[in-house]
A and B are shown apart, each in its own frame.
Chain A
Amino acid sequence: KAGVTQTPRYLIKTRGQQVTLSCSPISGHRSVSWYQQTPGQGLQFLFEYFSETQRNKGNFPGRFSGRQFSNSRSEMNVSTLELGDSALYLCASSSWGTSGLLSNEQFFGPGTRLTVL
Chain B
Amino acid sequence: GIQVEQSPPDLILQEGANSTLRCNFSDSVNNLQWFHQNPWGQLINLFYIPSGTKQNGRLSATTVATERYSLLYISSSQTTDSGVYFCAVEPRQGGSEKLVFGKGTKLTVNP
Stretch of A16-24, A69-77, A102-110 contacting B (4+ beta carbons < 8 Å): A102-110
Contact residue among A42, A48, A88 (Cβ-Cβ distance under 8 Å from B98) = A48
Interface residues on A, range: 20 to 34
Contact residue among A42, A56, A103, A108 (Cβ-Cβ distance under 8 Å from B43) = A108
State the main secondary structure of chain B at its contact with A. strand
In the bound assembly, the distance between CA atoms of A104 and B99 in angstroms comes to 10
29 interchain pairs (CB within 8 A)?
A33-B98, A33-B99, A35-B99, A37-B41, A44-B101, A45-B96, A45-B97, A45-B98, A45-B100, A48-B98, A58-B97, A92-B43, A92-B99, A103-B48, A104-B31, A104-B90, A105-B31, A105-B33, A105-B45, A106-B45, A106-B98, A108-B35, A108-B42, A108-B43, A109-B42, A110-B42, A111-B41, A111-B42, A113-B41
Residues of A within 8 A of B (CB): 33, 35, 37, 42-45, 48, 56-58, 88, 90, 92, 103-111, 113
